Amino acid sequence: MKKILFLLILISFEYTAYSQNQGIISGKVTDKLNNKTLSGINVRVIGTKFGAVTSKDGEFSIKNLSPGFYTLQISGIGYAPHTETNISVNNTKPTTLNIELTEIVIQTKGVEVIADYFDRTIETSASSQSLNSQDVRRAPGVQEDIIRATQLLPGVGISSAGRNDLVVRGGAPFENLFVVDNFEVPNINHFGTQGSTGGPLALINIDFVENVDFSSGAFSSYYGDKTSSFTNIRLRNGNQEKFGGQLNLSATGFGLNFEGPVNDKGSYWFSARRSYLDFIFKAAGFAFIPEYWDFQGKFNFNINSKNQISFLAITALDYVTLNNETDDQLYSNSKVAAPNQKQYFSAITWKHFFEKGYMNTTLGETLSLYEVTQNDSLGLPIFTNNSKEAETALKFDFFFQLTKSLDISFGNQSKFASSLDYDIVIPGYLRYDTEGTFYPFQIDTSFVNFKNGTYVNLTQKIGSFQYSAGLRYDYYNNLENNSYISPRFLIGYQIDGKSFASISGGTYYQSPSYIWTIGDKINSKLKPIRSDQIVLSYQRTIRKDLKFQIELYQKWYKDYPARLFRPWSVLSPSGFDDITSDIPYGIEPLVSTGIGYSRGMEVFLQKKFSDIPLYGLMSFTFSDTKFKSLKGDYIQGAYNTPIVFNLSAGYLLGKTWEIAAKFRYSSGLPITPFDTTTGKLILDEYNQGGRMPDFHALDIRLDKRWSFGHFSLDTYLDIQNVYGRKNVAGYKWDPREKEVIKQESFGILPSIGINFEF
């Protein structure tokens, strides 16, 4: 009897331990157009025997799944089948999904509608790609950074190994638009560059990202006031079934996340992170010591089946400490512009559903405080910038299905910059013209500004043909000519069930960055940058999880800011680590006379995670970008890299091990040579001094996951630049040694990550 009792206890313990180590996928399926819950929808876990059918409330739950990654196929009569990939399941809490299906005309008998792994929305852009949170998290060497992952996509160049500026089809980093949960954000980076969109590290926490949509051009009239690209980041809701949290240690910092339900109507999540770069830099004896914090939170609530509301708030605090204990440290720090920044943005969104459409209303605010100082070798300030940029935006978007094949969307966005304050000092020897004449600059000013954009877009399918036609009107209060109209179009043809070809294009305008307008009195006459674009695209789904795409594009620039003090170049500021290298932030006389072009070919191949546990992408870009300024003929653009190649791939070894690798190659950026007598740039040879050495690097990442009774542990080892190449990021003049020196990246850079989830 004792033996039988012991055996029963042992069996019970084994069963309990096994049960506790099983995961759950649950969620709700709704109609994308009107939010009606859908019953009788089949939800199947590909490669397993598990599945479910949605209840009358549209809900489903699939239990007894081993921790790992899965793919769901969702299908129902009258709706386009949908595939959800890279679904992470663990034993700590259910993985919850909100799935939206699109109604379609019921197919004739004998015609099968197959769900592939790639969504294509004709109203957005032919040049669009999509990544989910696991695509970003798994990519080696990107440090779980959304923007660094986006740099792997076609059309995106490399500016510097240490920065994540997007250089899209030859355009400068300030030409890119970022949208987070339907709200436009001026810069989503820690230590972000003022007047532009780049920085060293994205501040969005990857743990709460649902999806990232990126378009490299020719996008619809829905997006405006940018001329190169848009990145649309959708954040997920908190877990609506169970409270949970996560402690994590990454390559750059550590943090705490927690999330949970708000009764049965909503959920929340919150994140707090701190970098540990300051500890590392201090221990290594560096003179330049960065530190950052960020706090992020989201609350969503379903008022009823017709109304949803969400609130998002993100704050980033960036600091730099200068260690000036020795003469060498003083000298080293004299070549660094030290940024201390505070960024904040928040938005509240109300979504209302109609019978055949919906409305989004978003009210939000952004605030950026910049305190940038650069000292001389004695520790005395030579440059100071104390700026404040605050903006409030109100956005209305409407979408209606007029017929089964005809959709219309329209909307309006108003932006009121309520506080634009600038207190800036630049000495004359850092702001000079081609004759060497000094023009010192000092300003203490405040002003306000107003922008407005209105758009309408029609999308229709007629047999195998599809088209999207849009029109946008932009109003810029601070410009002499303040009204601009932009037509946009896309015409596509479904060649067969697997191939699609299209031609798209339009006109795009972008208003000058606020800080440019204070650089000189003449800058008040600046016009918006204009870009006319056309794109030829061919896409083929080779198999459900494998896509091939090739595109040819041409961009024509007009009214680009030309530099009076640098008449051989147009404006293209990126990050300013040292303002002695050039005039910073566009604070100089500018005129809207620059013209240019960018043209190229892009090839893209993407394999999604599926029943074959291999995933990855390959992109190849061949391009040419040139600009013509006030003097001379067309010369290379500052970001003209004729060849860019990316290859990233990973493989799941069972349920708990994963290995991935990434290789990047790019032509070197153009160089402006130095006069070795004066140490100044030879301005009449701007971007004509050859090229930097080609960039290339190999990164490897290994992941291991453990599942225990009530918690899980994910760890990884990420090795960047495996073969130790010191890529050149730029050249500087060293006044002490009287020579040009290279700015080189680190060699091999290993890091570890630990995520403890409970």
Q: For residue range 479-507, what is the model confidence (pLDDT) as tens digits?
A: 999 999 999 999 999 998 899 999 999 99
Kindly state whether residues 678 and 748 are assigned to the same domain. yes
Name the region of 482 (left: φ>0; alpha: ψ -120 to 50; beta: rest).
alpha
Return the CATH number at 59.
2.60.40.1120
Q: Of 62, 83, 101, which marks where a domain is finished?
A: 101
Q: How many CA atoms lie within 13 A of 530 on its CB side?
A: 17
Kindly state whether residues 96 and 155 are assigned to the same domain. no
Q: Is 521 inside any structural domain?
A: yes
- Tell me which residue of 339, 56, 47 sits closest to 193, measured CA to CA: 339
pLDDT in tens, 462-486: 999 999 999 999 999 999 999 999 9
State how far the alpha carbon of 620 is from the alpha carbons of 101, 156, 401, 548, 646, in Å. 33, 10, 38, 12, 7
Taking the C-alpha atoms of residue 52 and residue 62, their distance in angstroms, rounded to an integer, is 6
pTM of the model: 0.92
Kindly state whether residues 86 and 150 are assigned to the same domain. no
Whether the Cβ atoms of residue 203 and residue 351 lie closer than 8 Å to each other = no
pLDDT for 1 equals: 44
As a 3-state breakdown, the chain gives helix, strand, coil percent values, each rounded to 5, of: 10, 55, 35
**pLDDT at 385 exceeding the cut of 90:** yes
pLDDT for 8 equals: 34
Taking the C-alpha atoms of residue 171 and residue 627, their distance in angstroms, rounded to an integer, is 11
Kindly state whether residues 369 and 313 are assigned to the same domain. yes
Kindly state whether residues 176 and 315 are assigned to the same domain. yes
Mean pLDDT, residues 108-123 taken together = 58
Buried (b) or exposed (e) across 318-334, using 16+ Cβ within 10 A? bbbebbbeeeebbbbbb
**pLDDT at 3 exceeding the cut of 70:** no
DSSP H or E segment with residue 328? helix 327-333
Whether the Cβ atoms of residue 754 and residue 248 lie closer than 8 Å to each other = yes
What is the identity of the amino acid at 338? A
3-state secondary structure of 522: helix
Name the region of 181 (left: φ>0; alpha: ψ -120 to 50; beta: rest).
left
3-state secondary structure of 163: coil
pLDDT for 123 equals: 61
Q: Is 2 inside any structural domain?
A: no
To the nearest 10°, the Cα dihedral for 364, 301, 315, 133? -110
Take residue 126 and report the two structure tokens written for it.
């032919």
Kindly state whether residues 24 and 144 are assigned to the same domain. no
Select, from the ranges 12-16, 134-138, 547-551, 676-680, the one with the highest average predicted confidence (pLDDT): 547-551
3-state secondary structure of 20: helix
**pLDDT at 14 exceeding the cut of 60:** no
Mean pLDDT, residues 245-268 taken together = 92
pLDDT for 121 equals: 67
pLDDT in tens, 573-583: 766 578 888 89
Q: Is 218 inside any structural domain?
A: yes
What is the per-residue DSSP string for 358-400? EEEEEEEEEEEEEEEEEE-TTS-EEEEEEEEEEEEEEEEEEEE
Q: Is 744 inside any structural domain?
A: yes
Q: Is 458 inside any structural domain?
A: yes
- Tell me which residue of 255, 326, 338 sits closest to 289, measured CA to CA: 338
Whether the Cβ atoms of residue 501 and residue 478 lie closer than 8 Å to each other = no
Q: How many domains does the chain have?
A: 2
Whether the Cβ atoms of residue 417 and residue 448 lie closer than 8 Å to each other = yes
Query: What are the beta bridge partners of residue 499?
Result: 540
Whether the Cβ atoms of residue 68 and residue 655 lie closer than 8 Å to each other = yes
Alpha helices in 294-338 (DSSP H): 327-333
**CB-based contacts of 516, cutoff 8 Å, min separation 6:** 195, 523, 526, 561, 571, 585, 586, 587, 590
- Tell me which residue of 390, 394, 341, 342 sits closest to 366, measured CA to CA: 390
Kindly state whether residues 153 and 97 are assigned to the same domain. no
Taking the C-alpha atoms of residue 705 and residue 713, their distance in angstroms, rounded to an integer, is 6
Angle at 25 between CA 23 and CA 30, to 5 degrees: 170
Taking the C-alpha atoms of residue 387 and residue 372, their distance in angstroms, rounded to an integer, is 9
Whether the Cβ atoms of residue 112 and residue 732 lie closer than 8 Å to each other = no
**pLDDT at 52 exceeding the cut of 70:** yes
Kindly state whether residues 445 and 582 are assigned to the same domain. yes
Kindly state whether residues 566 and 523 are assigned to the same domain. yes
Q: Of 101, 118, 140, which marks where a domain is finished?
A: 101
Domain that residue 612 falls in: 128-757
Q: Is 118 inside any structural domain?
A: no
Kindly state whether residues 164 and 51 are assigned to the same domain. no
Kindly state whether residues 508 and 439 are assigned to the same domain. yes
Q: How many CA atoms lie within 13 A of 482 on its CB side?
A: 11
Q: Is 6 inside any structural domain?
A: no
Q: How do strand 546-563 and strand 529-543 relate by DSSP bridges?
A: antiparallel
State how far the alpha carbon of 277 is from the alpha carbons of 126, 243, 370, in Å. 40, 31, 20
Mean pLDDT, residues 520-545 taken together = 96
**pLDDT at 192 exceeding the cut of 50:** yes
Taking the C-alpha atoms of residue 395 and residue 224, their distance in angstroms, rounded to an integer, is 13
632 pLDDT band (50/70/90 cuts)? Answer: confident
Average pLDDT, the chain: 91
Kindly state whether residues 527 and 487 are assigned to the same domain. yes
pLDDT for 576 equals: 57
Take residue 33 and report the two structure tokens written for it.
């157009």
pLDDT higher for 91 or 234? 234
Q: Is 111 inside any structural domain?
A: no
DSSP assigned state of 723? T
Q: Of 82, 101, 120, which marks where a domain is finished?
A: 101
Return the CATH number at 702.
2.40.170.20
- Tell me which residue of 479, 492, 576 sits closest to 524, measured CA to CA: 479
Query: What are the beta bridge partners of residue 308?
Result: 302, 351
Work out the end-to-end distance of the chain between its first and last CA atoms, rounded to an integer number of angstroms: 39
116 pLDDT band (50/70/90 cuts)? Answer: low
Mean pLDDT, residues 161-181 taken together = 92
Whether the Cβ atoms of residue 89 and residue 69 lie closer than 8 Å to each other = yes
Taking the C-alpha atoms of residue 409 and residue 396, their distance in angstroms, rounded to an integer, is 11
Taking the C-alpha atoms of residue 116 and residue 498, their distance in angstroms, rounded to an integer, is 9
